[in-house]
Amino acid sequence: MQMVNKAVTSTFGEYTCCILLNTQIKSHSIDHVYVMQEVEEVSAERIKELDQLLRSGILLDSLAIKNILSAFKAIYGGHGHCDYSEALFLCIKRMTSRTPYFRKRTVYLLTNETNLFGANNQHRVAACKNADDLRSHNTEFLIFPLITENDTFVFNILEQFDPYVKKNFTNIGELEKDIPKKQYAHRNITGINFEFGNGLKFSVGIYSLLHSEKIPQPAALNAEKNEIMQRSHIYVNKETDEEVPVLDKEIILKRQIGGEVVNLSTDEVEKLRRLTPPGIVLLGFKPLSCLKITHHVRSSQFVYPLEKDILGSTRMYRTLYEVCMKQRKMIICRYTQKANVPPKLVALVPQASVAEDSSK
């Protein structure tokens, strides 16, 4: 059975911004520059917006546009030529005038032009200066030429803008390495009991084929010794500037619960994590038609019986599975994966096995 998680706790993630250059229509005061997506946290809506443009399936005035060039012309008015120094200054403002503070900043310029500045030498000097200013604001700036292997490309002008542009051209696949990846063994992450009530239960294992990877945090280094710095917090009296010892009970933590920010002590936070013992508790059944795509808030986990823990688990699991498949029902449960993990409301969705065609 597939376990669909229906509860999630939000955390700050990765922020992106998409700016289109050399457009005919402008979104701000800079000519031929259109901010397609402002600096916001990555979400499904932002990905869908980009995917629609790439797939050329944009609907404009009830007219389906089939070609991406036609879509670009219809939405952004066609092509122009922007001032790259002003475009980079816009990037600096987007990076430095936003909250939260970005500890790691990266700007990628993807282009198929060999000469971004034409014959305007003043334009080139101003753009190179703003590129240096961007790097001085602790921001990585890289140019990635987008051409085929058969095309000829001259790097001498772009190298004034980014000295590593030739390396980026040969290693454009390195962009995918910015996505954290990790291989996980296909074994159960935990074994828990599936409780029906009145002491009736059987044992199941939880399998997770996909895991969410956290963005690696940069480490602060000592400028002289190049060693990792250790952080420590000291509480000081505002009036006397003397160090004041603070007990754990005096520290108040803020947590978002049910859309509201609540002040909690460390003991209360620990109790929230241990509301229920590990296990799956049956709450009821609902038709599969009640399950919506919006209920999928993270990658699904899979439930499979563990006969070695409780004899008869496989038979009980199979009976429950066959009945749900026949009646097209899903099982609503309370799921607690570990002792220190808050419970979640989940749906167990039965899935029929699909045999792959050996000829494919």
Q: pLDDT tens digits for 246-259?
A: 777 777 888 887 77
Q: What is the pLDDT of residue 62?
A: 41
pLDDT at residue 152, as a whole number: 66
* Terminal-to-terminal C-alpha distance of the chain: 26
CATH 2.40.290.10 occupies which residues in the chain? Answer: 2-8+185-212+273-349
Q: What does the angle CA 142 – CA 143 – CA 149 come to, to the nearest 5 degrees?
A: 135
Do 338 and 278 touch, CB atoms closer than 8 A? yes
Cα 46 to chain centroid, rounded? 11
pLDDT for the residue numbered 8: 31
Top mean pLDDT of 7-21, 75-89, 215-229, 317-331 is at 317-331
> pLDDT category, 104, cuts 50, 70, 90?
confident
What pLDDT is stored for residue 293 in this prediction? 76
Name the least confident of 216-220, 223-227, 295-299. Answer: 216-220
The answer, yes or no, to whether residue 110 has pLDDT greater than 80, is: yes
pLDDT band at 106 (very low <50, low <70, confident <90, very high): confident
How far apart are the C-alpha atoms of 20 and 16, rounded to whole Å?
A: 13
Residues 202-231: what's their mean pLDDT? 79
CB 288 within 8 A of CB 329: yes
Of 137, 148, 196, the residue nearest 172 (C-alpha): 148
Inform me whether the pLDDT recorded for 57 exceeds 70.
no
pLDDT band per the 50, 70, 90 thresholds, residue 170: low
The CA distance from 148 to 50, in Å, is 22
Q: What is the mean pLDDT of residues 295-319?
A: 88
Fold entry, domain 2-8+185-212+273-349? Ku70; Chain: A; Domain 2 (2.40.290)
Residue 6's pLDDT is 38
pLDDT-based confidence at residue 181 (cuts at 50, 70, 90):
low
pLDDT at 10 over 50: no
Kindly state the average pLDDT of the residues 68-85: 82
Long-range pairs, 161-168, Cβ under 8 A, ≥24: 161/84, 161/116, 161/127, 161/128, 161/131, 162/109, 162/131, 168/142, 168/143, 168/144
Position 124 scores a pLDDT of 85
Task: Give percent above pLDDT 90 in the chain.
Answer: 17
**Does residue 342 surpass a pLDDT of 90?**
no
For the cut 60, the answer to whether the pLDDT of residue 163 exceeds it is: yes
Average pLDDT, the chain: 80
Q: What is the mean pLDDT of residues 142-154?
A: 72
pLDDT at 3 over 50: no
Domain with CATH 3.40.50.410 in the chain: 15-178
Q: Which residue has the higher pLDDT, 142 or 283?
A: 283
Q: Binning pLDDT at 50, 70 and 90, where does residue 271 land?
A: confident
With 80 as the cut, is the pLDDT of residue 278 above it? Answer: yes
**pLDDT number for residue 347:** 93
Answer whether CATH 3.40.605.10 is correct for domain 15-178. Answer: no
